[in-house]
Amino acid sequence: MSKRNGSSRGYQIFSLVVLIVLALLFLFPLYWIVTGALKTPAAINSPTPQWWPEEFTLRNFQVLFSKRSAPLFQIGSLTGPTIPGAIRWLINTVFMAVMAMLLTCATAAMAGYALAKKRFTGRVILFSLIVAAMALPKQVILIPLIREMSSLGLYDNIWAVILPTVGWPFGVFLMKQFAEGIPTEMVEACRIDGANEWRTFTDVMFPMIKPGVGALAIFTFINSWNDYFMQLIMLTSSSNLTISLGIATMQAENSTDYGLIMAGASLAAIPIIVVFLIFQKYFTKGITMGAVKG
Amino acid sequence: MTKTMSPRLRRHENISGYLFLLPSLVFFLGFVVYPMAMCIWTSFTDANMNSNTKDTFIGLANYVELWHDPVFLKALWNTIIIVVVSVPVVCIFSLWVASAIYRMKEGTLSFFRVVFYLPVVTGSVAVTVVWKWMYNNYYGIFNYLLKGAGVIDKNINWLGDPKYALGCIILILLTTSVGQPIVLYVSALSNVDSSLVEAAEVDGANNTQAFWRIKWPQIMPTTLYILIITTINSFQCFALIQLLTSGGPNYATETVMYYIYYTAFKLYRFGYGNAMGVILAIFIAALSAVQFRLAKED
């Protein structure tokens, strides 16, 4: 330890021990979900908890997958083969998160570029509006959104969740921060070389803001996957639910079968945790960039 | 170049600027700004679930009614308690964790960062259902552990008891709120100008002095940002309430966000719910402004 690191050795050991204990406590709920999903009903319903399942069972997942069934897809009168409801929920969720991610990244990258590098009239007012909207509680707009979506014929449709997610201005803000870091000379040099606006964006700007787009992509994917409130008010019929919403519904109906509910919770949580672990570098970057001058 | 743009270039910049903005603006104006305007407008009407009937303008009637609604006042009170407890705890906790880990090796650092962020990624529903099980009266580990340790002598119905329910909710909220602040503090602390810290140490400053005099002012913008996002988050506490207690027992855990949901989707009173939304937005804006002022003065 160099002297600059300062604090005494004793304090450092103490804080490391506290950190490890805290880390274990923060990991515990996840551990409890996964092991709970593999426990027998007898183990779950015993007042003495089993810290490690004495007997492993797939019973909870079997019940989960036999619970409801839904068609794989439904386009007009064309109906796909029947699959377990939980799988359908997972497919809905992946579709929703991927669509929200692609649309947000595409629109926000373009808008961020324009706000950072284009000198158009009304730029300052527009940017202030975006920052002001970000500071407001998102949930406030959800009630008016319901009526808007029903008049658009999108109520109880997964797009009713996707469209407002794309509209949320955080992405534009983040992309503007990234685009501002790119030297204006590069953009201008490209224009002098005779490239049109679109080529300037796709060939010069986009490759340079790619790390930012990556951060925004993972950020949007995870937030959209977990945006329970929006999903709750927009989606109602059983085959349109997302995985979080499906688990919440199941929980309301079978509130005492904790094994079943933990199986559902693992199905909702594990895919998104894996995605997070793979892309966590980008994610950290997105969080910090979004805060600069926030 | 900015000041002396030719009219032709200016026109070009305007057109190309707005074309790049267009896709994003459509979504932003259509699905954020428009509903926000509708939220304010319908808060002055008797709007209900049905979008076909005409809303009648009723002036401030919704707001007057809110002022006399005991459930709303209780919900506002509970929300304030949640904010007042969770915001300082989240800030102090995450600052401590961040300052303990930010000089660690990259691998260890990201391990801790990930662990504290996991409850956020896991998702509110999965997190809530497992805590519901842990709090359970008969099979929950809390009762088992506390009875084993001799702290309590008979099982406590944590979520069903008005004395404990709100505290239990706040505890879960805390575990899902520290992830982002820790990431932000780690990055802010590693960006602190280390030559200043060294200079102070040469001048004989101890660790505590170096922290408060040098580092604290430099991470102030981050603290401000964390205060604001944590305040907004705590105000919006919803999934926990809806899945655990539905605002009970006896309104002990009723929050503004849950009451808005209840009013709009169980009573179908959109106008009334939106009036609460407007009040909530004003509250958050006012609090952010106060925090901003305090931080500026420091």
How does pLDDT run across B231-271, given as a tens digit for each residue? 888 887 888 898 888 887 888 889 988 999 999 888 888 88
Helix (H) or strand (E) holding B197: helix B194-202
Domain with residues B60-297, CATH architecture: Orthogonal Bundle (1.10)
In this prediction, residue B297 carries a pLDDT of 66
Shortest CB distance from A150 goes to which of B51, B138, B187?
A: B51
> Chains A, B: CB contacts under 8 A, how many?
280
In this prediction, residue B250 carries a pLDDT of 81
CB contact under 8 A, B175 and A111: no
Residue of B133, B157, B180, B284 for testing the chain A interface, max A β-carbons within 10 Å: B133
Q: Report pLDDT digits (tens) over B188-219.
A: 888 887 788 788 878 877 777 878 888 888 88
Interface subset of A 32-91, CB within 8 angstroms of B: 32-33, 36, 44-49
Query: Is the predicted pLDDT of residue B279 greater than 70, yes or no?
Result: yes
In this prediction, residue B245 carries a pLDDT of 86
- Which of B33 and B246 is assigned the larger pLDDT? B33
What are the CA-CA distances from residue A61 to residues A50, A72, A88 (Å)? 19, 19, 15
User: Can you point out the beta strands (E) in A66-128?
Assistant: 69-71, 74-75, 78-79, 82-84
Q: Which residues of B touch A151 (CB under 8 A)?
A: 51
Dig out the tokens for B250 from the structure: 């006896």
Domain coordinates in residue numbering, chain B: 1-42, 60-297
Taking a C-beta distance cutoff of 8 angstroms, is the pair A83, A69 a contact? yes
Among residues B72, B46, B69, the alpha carbon closest in space to that of B272 is found at: B46
Closest-CA residue of A relative to B125 is: A244
Average pLDDT over every residue of B53-66: 83
Q: Which residues of B touch A90 (CB under 8 A)?
A: none
Is the residue at A124 inside a domain?
A: yes
The neighbour count for residue B131, using CB atoms within 10 Å, is 26
Chain B nearest C-alpha distance from A110 (Å) = 5
- Number of domains present in the structure of chain A: 1
In this prediction, residue A20 carries a pLDDT of 94
In this prediction, residue A1 carries a pLDDT of 36
Average pLDDT, chain B: 86
Is the residue at A28 inside a domain?
A: no
d(CA B127, CA A42): 23
Question: How does residue B51 score in pLDDT terms, banded at 50, 70 and 90?
Answer: low
- Which of B86 and A188 is assigned the larger pLDDT? B86
Give average pLDDT by consecutive 10-residue segment, chain A, 294 residues: 56 90 94 92 84 86 79 69 84 94 94 87 87 79 88 90 92 88 79 77 84 88 90 88 90 83 92 90 77 52
Closest-CA residue of B relative to A121 is: B14
Closest-CA residue of B relative to A36 is: B130
Helix (H) or strand (E) holding B289: helix B270-297
User: Between the CA atoms of B180, B185, B186 and B190, what dihedral angle is there, to the nearest 10 degrees?
Assistant: 150
Is the residue at A65 inside a domain?
A: no
Q: Parallel, antiparallel, or unpaired: how do β-strands A69-71 and A74-75 relate?
A: unpaired
DSSP one-letter string for A221-244: HHHHHT-HHHHHHH--SGGG--HH
Amino acid letter, residue B104: M
- Phi, psi at B273, each rounded to 5°: -60, -40
* Structural domain harbouring A212: 84-291
Shortest CB distance from B284 goes to which of A27, A115, A137?
A: A137
Query: Is the predicted pLDDT of residue B1 greater than 70, yes or no?
Result: no
d(CA B8, CA A158): 44
User: Cβ of A290 under 8 Å from any chain B Cβ?
Assistant: no
Q: Coil, helix or strand for A290?
A: helix
Q: Coil, helix or strand for A71?
A: strand
In this prediction, residue A25 carries a pLDDT of 93
d(CA A157, CA B28): 20
Is the residue at A23 inside a domain?
A: no
d(CA A230, CA A240): 13
User: Cβ of B142 under 8 Å from any chain A Cβ?
Assistant: no
Q: Which residues of A touch B277 (CB under 8 A)?
A: 137, 139-140, 143
Is the residue at A284 inside a domain?
A: yes
Handedness of CA A259, A264, A267, A268 (dihedral sign): negative
- Phi, psi at A292, each rounded to 5°: -55, 130
Q: Which residues of A touch B36 (CB under 8 A)?
A: 133, 136, 140-141, 144
d(CA A127, CA A122): 9
User: Cβ of A277 under 8 Å from any chain B Cβ?
Assistant: yes
Question: How does residue B131 score in pLDDT terms, banded at 50, 70 and 90?
Answer: very high
Is the residue at A20 inside a domain?
A: no
Q: Which of A36-40, B86-90, B138-142 shows the highest mean pLDDT?
A: B86-90
d(CA A1, CA A75): 65
The CATH number linked to A249 is: 1.10.3720.10
What are the CA-CA distances from residue A273 to residues A101, A105, A153, A267, B134 (Å)? 17, 21, 34, 11, 21
Count of positions (residues) in chain B: 298
Chain B nearest C-alpha distance from A81 (Å) = 29
Tell me: ipTM over 0.90: no
